[in-house]
């Protein structure tokens, strides 16, 4: 779980101000692209909190400027009592990058004078996709239930879906709210369908979390998440690529398939006191056969009629 902090990226340190010895902080930023090359003339700013006052309409301020020929921007200021700094970099043709940097409650020279490298990922070829933040209850335990990614719903009779792209199956053995075993299994209807794990990666502050293209190989036909009491036994992941609606030729090679991604892990809610378990996941499906491009254009969601909490805004 990500640490919850009292800092909104666009307005740093709001509500995080306390009295302390006001020392000077100095942040040296280096903006680089996907290949590690400097990004010049990018807009950069470091936001910090200031004590609220009747004379001020805001409780934050910022030091701002442009990165130089080496991609460097330096911001410094005598501290006004904020625990954290909001760091932001923007340039046309790149995804924005945002980062929260913790100063801590007391001055430490090394921590208060950081050198930070920030990655600005280039905007590639974002496309229209079926994308949704799904939070749902499992229709039944101990039964494989199909989910239609293009419909964004369970297949009939549990929903409006018509073609199962994936199957979810939940098994639960609950002795008490503290003693239970449960597992969630993901399977597929077609030979050649599958899921590929994307290992955890360092956070860059970019909304483009996963690679732009789904892997061509490495898909496995099933994946499971398991809990024993409150201990998860599944391997962590930053996301998954999947291949569905696969058609194989006579030699077993992929002739046609649709590719997509699940960004972040699949959330499994055991529901020890509930009649049904729950799952949650954020998925993207490219509708073009054999195209492995999974860089989404949030302005071109092929799933219409979504509620605000179901909308996907990240590429």
Q: Please write the tens of the pLDDT for every residue from 241-299.
A: 999 999 999 999 999 999 999 999 999 999 988 999 999 999 999 999 999 999 999 99
The answer to whether residues 49 and 135 touch, using CB atoms and an 8 Å cutoff, is: no
DSSP secondary structure code for residue 308 in this structure: G
Give the residue-averaged pLDDT of 86-113: 93
Residue 236 DSSP label:
P
% the chain with pLDDT above 90: 74
Q: Which two tokens stand for residue 185?
A: 């299994």
User: What is the Cα Rg of the chain in Å?
Assistant: 23
3-state secondary structure of 139: coil
Q: Given this model, what pLDDT does residue 56 score?
A: 57
pLDDT in tens, 294-315: 999 999 999 999 999 999 999 9
DSSP-assigned beta bridge partners for residue 247: 256
Query: Average pLDDT of the chain?
Result: 89
- Predicted TM-score (pTM) of the model is 0.86
* pLDDT of amino acid 5: 33
How many CA atoms, within 13 angstroms, populate the side-chain half-sphere of residue 178? 0
| Per-residue pLDDT reduced to its tens digit, 136-195 | 999 999 999 999 999 999 999 999 999 999 999 999 999 888 888 999 999 999 999 999
**Any idea which of 17-21, 41-45, 228-232 has the lowest mean pLDDT?**
17-21
Q: How far is CA 180 from CA 59, 135, 174, 226, in A?
A: 47, 22, 4, 11
What is the DSSP track for 34-92?
TTS-B--S-EEEEEEE----TT-S-SEEEEEEE--TTSEEEEEEE--SBSEEEEEEE-T
Whether the predicted pLDDT of 9 surpasses 70: no
Is 119's pLDDT higher than 60? yes
Q: Which of 17-21, 31-35, 228-232, 251-255 has the lowest mean pLDDT?
A: 17-21
Residue ranges and CATH numbers for the domains of the chain are 24-119 (2.60.40.1120), 127-310 (no CATH)
pLDDT of residue 22: 61
Residue 238: pLDDT band (50, 70, 90) is confident
CB of 124 within 8 A of CB of 315? no
């Amino acid at each position: 779980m990500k640490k919850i902090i009292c800092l909104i990226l666009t307005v740093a340190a709001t509500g995080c101000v306390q009295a302390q010895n006001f020392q000077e902080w100095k942040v040296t930023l280096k903006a680089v692209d996907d290949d590690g090359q400097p990004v010049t003339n990018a807009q950069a700013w470091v936001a910090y909190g200031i004590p609220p006052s009747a004379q001020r309409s805001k409780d934050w301020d910022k030091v701002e400027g442009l990165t130089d020929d080496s991609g460097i921007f330096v911001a410094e200021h005598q501290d006004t009592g904020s625990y954290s700094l909001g760091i932001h970099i923007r340039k046309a043709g790149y995804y924005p990058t945002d980062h929260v940097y913790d100063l801590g409650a007391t001055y430490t020279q090394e921590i208060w004078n950081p050198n930070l490298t920030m990655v600005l990922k280039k905007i590639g070829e974002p496309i229209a996709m079926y994308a949704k933040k799904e939070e749902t209850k499992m229709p039944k335990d101990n039964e494989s239930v199909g989910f239609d990614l293009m419909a964004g719903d369970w297949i009939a009779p549990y929903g409006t879906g018509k073609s199962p792209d994936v199957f979810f199956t939940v098994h639960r053995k609950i002795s008490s709210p503290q003693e239970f075993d449960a597992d969630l299994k993901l399977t597929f209807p077609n030979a050649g369908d599958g899921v590929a794990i994307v290992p955890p990666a360092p956070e860059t502050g970019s909304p483009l979390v996963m690679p732009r293209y789904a892997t061509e190989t490495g898909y496995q036909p099933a994946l499971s998440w398991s809990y024993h009491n409150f201990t998860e036994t599944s391997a962590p992941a930053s996301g998954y690529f999947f291949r569905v609606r696969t058609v194989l030729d006579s030699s077993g090679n992929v002739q046609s398939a649709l590719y997509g991604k699940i960004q972040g892990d699949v959330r499994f809610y055991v529901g020890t006191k509930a009649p049904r378990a729950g799952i949650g996941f954020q998925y993207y499906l490219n509708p073009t056969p054999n195209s492995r491009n999974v860089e989404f254009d949030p302005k071109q969601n092929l799933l219409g009629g979504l509620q605000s909490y179901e909308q996907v805004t990240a590429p």
